[in-house]
Amino acid sequence: MPANCHYFANLLILLVKMLNKKTLFSIIFWLLLAGISVTAVTFAGLYLYLSPKLPPVDSLRQVKLQTPLRVYSSDGKLIGEFGEQRRTPLKYNQIPPLYLKALLAAEDAEFFEHHGVSLRGMLRAASQILKSGEIQSGGSTLTQQLARDFFLSRKQVFSRKFNEILLSLQIEQEFTKEEILELFNNKMFFGNRAYGLQAAAQIYYGKDVQELTIAQDAMIVGVLKAPSAYNPVANPKRSMARRNWIIGRMYELQFIDKAAYDVAIREPNTASIHGSGQETQAPYISEMARKEAVDRFGDNAYTDGYKVFTTVDSAMQATAQSSVVNGLMNYDERHGYRGPERHLEASTDPELEDWQDHLQAMAVLGGLEPMAVVEVADKKVTLLQSNGEKLELDWQHGLSDKRPYISEDSRGALPKSAKDFLHVGDVVRIGKDKDGQPRLAQVPEAQSALVSLDPMSGAVRALVGGFDFNQSHFNRVMQGARQPGSSFKPLVYTCALEHGFTPATMINDAPIVIRNEYTGVIWRPENDEGEFDGPISLRKALYKSKNLVSIRILKSLGVDTVIDSLERFGFNKKEFPHELALALGAHALTPMQMATAYASFANGGYKIDPYLISRIENGRGEVVFEAHPKRVCKTCPDIKAEENPDEPSPTTGESIAEEQRAPRIIDARIAYIMDSILKDVVDKGTGISAKVLGRTDLGGKTGTTNGPRDLWFSGYNPNLITTVWVGIDKNTPLGRREFGSTAALPIWIDFMRTALEGMPNQIARQPDGIVTVRINTETGKPAQPGDTNTIFEIFAAELSSSTPKGLGDERPAAETLPEGVL
């Protein structure tokens, strides 16, 4: 030791010996007092400096937690959610006690004892750092974490930590412990866009928070420490270690007994990423509701907890979704297998993880999962799923019947071996057959749209805009204007009945040649079946869908007359072409437009306006929008000549004021006759397949355009009008053996079978001014004694007249060729 050190050491010893014990204690006391005073002055100075800059903690009472926009069905089921943060706020009494115990065990065991800051917690955290190099139980209290998350950044500086302590003390003075826990569990981030406990329970376990087990409670609590590092899906090993430590800590603190500990510690990791808890798939409807909410409330719609309640029936919507998918799959099966969706390059990874990555990047469409072929035998194939598992598909599950697609009108021969059309690396789609067994399939090239309305109010009950929203966001119900073909004819025939035609009017179903007077182009329209029946009644011409008759009717009425009559159905008459092809539905319309028009046949002649949203609530549950649609009131006087504006409604028993009544657009007698003819379409016409439903209150009309490129069926009963369209987005032909009755009608039947289940048949009430007369079917005139070919027909008559107007009238189109006809 150097000499100076010896010198100073000896000097210090000498001084201590010189001081008596009393003097020594006095010096130590004053030194401690000085230290405490300096510390107190320092903290007081910091408080005086920082406290004016702190935000008021009572602002937490007005805090607006970002809550996503949610869309619900009419029966309260979640069908859509939009917003960056998934959150469902809970009240304190909704938080499970075992979850709270897991939270306190991991983060703040002395929570109910301290006043915002825990010295023991800080010392314990320091001890854990010294022992293991990391903190397992947090050094900050829950109150400090809440203060930091609401008011401060995570920057590790002394001033921030001091602010955190000050804010925590203020929060504890302002709020009860229960209020702090409620705020904490609704605010904190749990990873995967989950904010708050309820969102975390849904995202990781697909459960309500009340259904979680102790192990699941502990796993969710464990995520709080580091949502990425302790994510139970992305980092299962690390998250399990954290979970088990929390369970052990709960046992150590006597929050659970040994039996509960043993069960929890043995429970495997069952976490996986779940959706937002949607109970019914209705993506096209959700998107429509989202757009409406954003149009009304701007970007706040995504964060302020708005709830949009739609008119959609969840059961009908689920049926509509499956009906469209099944109908398109059936159409696709009739036209052959187009081959694998893509081909993957050979993999050098024995686990085929690169192939799994490709499969995971592909969306499941219409329930069809993408899988890669890893082995091909004569009568079976082995497939790789996106999760790495293997699936064997035998010859009878979609392999033996895969005739190759040649064109929309032809297929090749049946395969003799799976090797004929599948190879290792091919990516194919696997669906389920009727027994739930896997089956080789493919995403259909065709698309479809379905919309179903309540004809008495216009409420949308179900809507499907395509095969799968993930394949295409294009909503064909609202945006897909296509030619409706013969399903447009009832609108023309309605005009005819209003201008002197009757169901018995005879029109010539014979070939016609029309020359365009401007271009000179010759048009030779034909009937779908290529046959002609000669003179035929208007009723029979419509239910047999005779094209030549429709053209002659339109020519007789005049194109302008018919176009003017279409405006009342909600169409823009300026958009319609002034040509005879209009009689065959040559002008493109959307399925929603067609359903709206047909609603007038279903409800007895009234105009309804479709609507989707019944009401919108804000985050506080206050109604900020409510729909007031015009409704049909058949017992109320017509709006144009009403005497009492508040007659009771036949459907609700409530009075309907004038401004809430749907206006009449078709005379009740004309509407009744049209309904009768459209019922014949189902009873003995092109829609006869619908008789399988065993109902007598169904009416409708098929539609098939040239090609055919568009296939339709619009049909109804008094409670529901449903329109179905089938076609290809590229507007290419669907196959010459396809008609509205073979592709669109089966989807309609599949949907209506479930939608109308339990509803009794409803026979339309015959209005005043309808008379029934026996007529000769060959002439359309009243039957004479001795006539054998007779039927009863209905006619519209003036209330004071006993002779039906237009009875047996033969229009000029039946004998005299119109101008321009060769």
Any idea which residues carry the catalytic annotation?
107, 486
Q: What angle do CA 507, 744, 739 make, to 5 degrees?
A: 50
Q: What angle do CA 304, 305, 306 make, to 5 degrees?
A: 100
Q: What angle do CA 596, 598, 599 make, to 5 degrees?
A: 65
Structure tokens at 302: 């995504």
User: What is the rounded CA–CA span in Å between residue 179 and residue 42?
Assistant: 32
First CA to last CA distance, the chain:
131
Residue labelled with tokens 């696709």: 332
Helix (H, G, I), strand (E, B) or coil at 51: helix
DSSP class of 459: B
Q: How far is CA 113 from CA 106, 118, 172, in A?
A: 16, 9, 11
Contacts of 30 (CB under 8 A, 6+ apart): none
Residue labelled with tokens 């009419």: 74
Longest pairwise C-alpha distance within the chain: 152
User: What is the rounded CA–CA span in Å between residue 598 and residue 714?
Assistant: 7
Instruction: Give yes or no for a contact between 297 and 304, defined as CB atoms under 8 angstroms apart.
Output: yes
Instruction: Give yes or no for a contact between 196 and 187, defined as CB atoms under 8 angstroms apart.
Output: yes
Q: Side chain identity at 593, as an amino acid letter?
A: Q
Distance of CA 77 to the CA centre of its chain: 11
Output the DSSP codes for 159-222: HHHHHHHHHHHHHHHHS-HHHHHHHHHHH-B-STTBBSHHHHHHHHHSS-GGG--HHHHHHHHH
Q: Which helix (H) or strand (E) holds 42?
A: helix 21-50
Rg for the chain, CA atoms, rounded: 38
Instruction: Give yes or no for a contact between 213 and 261, defined as CB atoms under 8 angstroms apart.
Output: no
Instruction: Give yes or no for a contact between 421 and 339, defined as CB atoms under 8 angstroms apart.
Output: yes
Structure tokens at 444: 């259909």
User: What is the rounded CA–CA span in Å between residue 271 and residue 206?
Assistant: 9
Output the DSSP codes for 209-251: GGG--HHHHHHHHHHTT-TTTT-TTT-HHHHHHHHHHHHHHHH
Share in percent of the chain as helix, strand, coil (round to 5) = 40, 15, 45
Instruction: Give yes or no for a contact between 573 and 561, defined as CB atoms under 8 angstroms apart.
Output: no
Instruction: Give yes or no for a contact between 414 and 403, defined as CB atoms under 8 angstroms apart.
Output: yes
Contacts of 663 (CB under 8 A, 6+ apart): 606, 607, 630, 638, 639, 640
Structure tokens at 352: 């085929």
Three-state SS string over 347-373 comes to CCCCCCHHHHHHHHCCCCECCEEEEEE
Contacts of 450 (CB under 8 A, 6+ apart): 320, 323, 324, 462, 463, 464, 477, 591, 722, 723, 724, 725, 747, 748, 751
810 bridge partner residues: 506
Q: Side chain identity at 633, as an amino acid letter?
A: C
Structure tokens at 619: 């985050």
